[in-house]
Amino acid sequence: MIDWEETDVGLRVFDGGDSVVPVRGPDIRTEPAGSGVPRPVDAALDCTTTELRFPAPLVAVTAIDGDDRYEIGPGTDPVDLPHGTYVIDVDAEIRAFVEAEGPARIHVEDSEGVVSFPTARELTLGFRSRKTASVGRVTVPDTPAGLADALTHASAALSTTGPERSAPWLRGRPPALELGTERHVPDEVADATPHTGIELVAPDSFEALFPLAPLAYYLGADTRVADRDNAVLRAPGVDTTIGLGAMPTLQREAAATLRKSVFLDSLVRTAASPGRDLAEAGLLDMLDLDPAALTAATPAERFARYADVPDAAIERRLPDWPLATYVDPAPENVEALPYLLDDLALIYAPETSELDGGELIERSLDDFYRSMNTDEVASVDVAKPHLRHGRMHGWLADDTPIDVFKTSRAAYRNRNDGSTEGPTLSVTVVSNDDEMDAEVSTVIDTYESRSASLPIDLTVRNHLTTAKLARLLETPTDFVHFIGHCEHGGLRCPDGTLDTESLRTCKTRSFFLNACGSYYEGEGLVHKGATAGVMTLSGVLNDHAVTVGSTFARLLTGGFCVERATRLARRRIMMGKDYAVVGDGTHTMVGGDRPPSLVRVEAVDGQYLVTVDRYSPRRPGDTYRPPVGDGAAYLCGNESEFVLDDEELTTFLADADLPVIHDGDLYWSDELDAIHSA
């Protein structure tokens, strides 16, 4: 649902989730829309203004009566539109559309898309959320054949079966899935299920179907099982077959085929959009792929053409895949599949081994823990996961592995609960130990500094009793940052301990339990209703807790998801693996689906090699434009590199608000002196 409110400087638009978009218009006047814009939108309004400013550096303009199309981004010249009617597409966290009459000027200034008119102009604004709701609920028998039937209908959530399906906003969350005694596919799901001419024949097992699920969903494959060991993809109408092998090879082949399909679709999609200068676009000519012909082709014809592309020809150009999830292929985990397919996560069977010597030594460091009595701290036995391709890793299985977020079916159910919907982010810092005052002060400063640019409602609570802490956690809140101690009985309070499993419910969407040995309390919060959070696996050093807590706060409010913020924050301490994430680690508190960049700076021969890296765990196929360079776009998951001199680096970092890795250490872009002297 899209809603908006007027502010002193324009509008604030929000979608009931994590995305909030401020639209600045110094003299804007609004009224209900008399008619909508000629684009699919969730909400629209009419307004009068001389200027609109959007927090998005990419704007596309299409003439309604004609073929003129323009794309304006960083480094491109302003575009002056003559008389005529135009639709202006703004690539913000919430997609914005403006229907307006020319003349008008479009340009990008300070990472903002600016639409200006010589005099006050009546126009229509439309907004479309990038978030997608599930389409219906499918019930199938508790068998592999039933799951295959459900996977066939998963693609009902695709807005298109053309190359544009590689755009994340055109892929929806598949129908909710449950196992039952009778098959039920709602008419709206059956009617929306595409007929692509592509078939997937799988071994008759849950073990094979789970890793095949993302591929079946993306290709819109008619999926069925057979008494066989090998899986096969085929398009009989174009006489094309791709063998995917048997388990465990099947996992690797299914992932490789999906990555190839999304990559080539992304190249074709962007090439078919006039003015979109993708850095990887030259590969189409090298592969002799005609984007116009492939856009016009049927899904089966395009599948056949992609099958002819040698894997070796694109292997080094494939973007890193953002998310891999390791799932126990048990029938009860079928419930989580629609969420994993919505993320287009690669799915693998879980495997673990014992920690190696170095990891065991790191886990055994226990001096100077901030807990006064380490015997009171709960610890967790951890395992080493066998990780496959992916930037981030989720774990939906037994064991507690390091280097992954431990998710659950409950976390996915809680993901779209929407209990804290609204334009303002509610953040509560809880200080339950006076010895932690330094950490409390640092964390509060971090949140307050972000409130200048974010609608944060910050509350600080001290010395909460068990009843008051329970009441806080049971009240809708976006984020709770707990600073204190944890014992075997739960989170320490002045009158005892709070076991989070004793809560009636948890309405806190996400949390940080900066307390020694708080893992099980974090699991309890997710079980009771939270989406994701961070806690510790054992005791941690006091100064480490301060460093990780304050760094995490800045990264989370900077738009990073819970898992990535945790991984970056723990780089700053020696014992970083003592911090772990439970629940859906892809959850973001702010920023929605437009992730921030991470920058690496390396001194090379008197200059600096700057590497920009951006990806979102929920958006494979997306593109980004680096805040430096010639304005070319890159596929998310592919890094972009630039060589800058000292003055250019200083200017770039001064204009940015980004985390920077230099000589292995994590800084913020405003720490210029530290970066130059490191």
Q: What is the pLDDT of residues 36-95, one digit of tens each?
A: 777 778 889 999 999 999 988 778 888 887 767 787 876 678 999 999 999 998 878 788
d(C-alpha 245, C-alpha 232), whole Å:
7
pLDDT digits (tens, 9 = 90+) for 624-670: 888 887 778 899 999 999 999 998 998 888 878 889 999 888 988 88
Let me know whether 144 and 124 are in one domain: no
The predicted model scores a pTM of: 0.87
Let me know whether 69 and 117 are in one domain: yes
pLDDT digits (tens, 9 = 90+) for 213-235: 999 999 999 999 999 999 999 99
CA distances from 346 to 132, 166, 390 (A): 19, 15, 8
At residue 74, the 3 state secondary structure works out as coil
pLDDT confidence of residue 671: 81
Place of tokens 């997608």: 132
Let me know whether 72 and 214 are in one domain: no
| CB-based contacts of 62-70 (< 8 A; 24+ apart in sequence) | 62/86, 62/87, 62/89, 64/38, 64/99, 69/274, 69/275, 70/106, 70/275
Let me know whether 373 and 465 are in one domain: yes
Let me know whether 672 and 578 are in one domain: no
d(C-alpha 259, C-alpha 204), whole Å:
24
Let me know whether 48 and 80 are in one domain: yes
Let me know whether 142 and 124 are in one domain: no
Q: What angle do CA 309, 311, 352 make, to 5 degrees?
A: 145
Let me know whether 566 and 648 are in one domain: no
pLDDT confidence of residue 256: 98
Per-residue confidence at 524, pLDDT binned at 50, 70, 90?
very high
Let me know whether 545 and 623 are in one domain: no
In a domain, 508, yes or no: yes
Per-residue confidence at 367, pLDDT binned at 50, 70, 90?
very low
In a domain, 413, yes or no: no
Let me know whether 41 and 158 are in one domain: no
Q: Which domain holds residue 514?
A: 369-378+419-583
**Cis previous bond, 103, omega within 30:** yes
3-state helix, strand, coil in the chain (%, to 5): 30, 30, 40
pLDDT confidence of residue 594: 67
Q: What angle do CA 643, 645, 648 make, to 5 degrees?
A: 95
pLDDT digits (tens, 9 = 90+) for 606-620: 899 999 999 989 889
pLDDT confidence of residue 375: 52
List all residues 6 or more positions away from 412 whose beta carbon is below 8 Å from its beta carbon.
335, 336, 339, 584
Total count of domains within the chain:
4
d(C-alpha 137, C-alpha 139), whole Å:
7
pLDDT confidence of residue 172: 84
d(C-alpha 131, C-alpha 505), whole Å:
25
In a domain, 411, yes or no: no
Let me know whether 607 and 572 are in one domain: no
pLDDT confidence of residue 372: 45
Report H helices in 299-351. Answer: 299-307, 311-314, 337-343
CATH number at residue 571: 3.40.50.1460
In a domain, 632, yes or no: yes
Q: What DSSP assignment string belongs to 508-557?
A: EEEEEEESTT-HHHHHHHHHHT--EEEEESS--BHHHHHHHHHHHHHHHH
In a domain, 177, yes or no: yes
Closest CA to 519 of 505, 503, 539, 547: 539
pLDDT digits (tens, 9 = 90+) for 459-513: 999 999 999 999 999 999 999 999 999 999 999 999 999 999 999 999 999 999 9
How many residues in the chain? 678
- Would the CA dihedral through 635, 571, 426, 558 be positive or negative? negative
Neighbouring-strand partners of residue 10: 7, 24
Per-residue confidence at 368, pLDDT binned at 50, 70, 90?
very low
| pLDDT for 360 beyond 60 | no
At residue 283, the 3 state secondary structure works out as helix
pLDDT digits (tens, 9 = 90+) for 541-583: 677 788 888 899 999 998 899 999 999 998 876 665 788 999 9
Q: What angle do CA 582, 177, 264 make, to 5 degrees?
A: 80
In a domain, 199, yes or no: yes
Q: What is the mean pLDDT of residues 258-264?
A: 98
pLDDT digits (tens, 9 = 90+) for 121-179: 999 999 887 665 666 899 999 999 999 999 999 999 998 899 999 988 788 889 999 99
Let me know whether 39 and 171 are in one domain: no
d(C-alpha 20, C-alpha 92), whole Å:
10
**Over pLDDT 70: what percentage of the chain?**
91
Q: End of a domain among 62, 93, 128?
A: 128
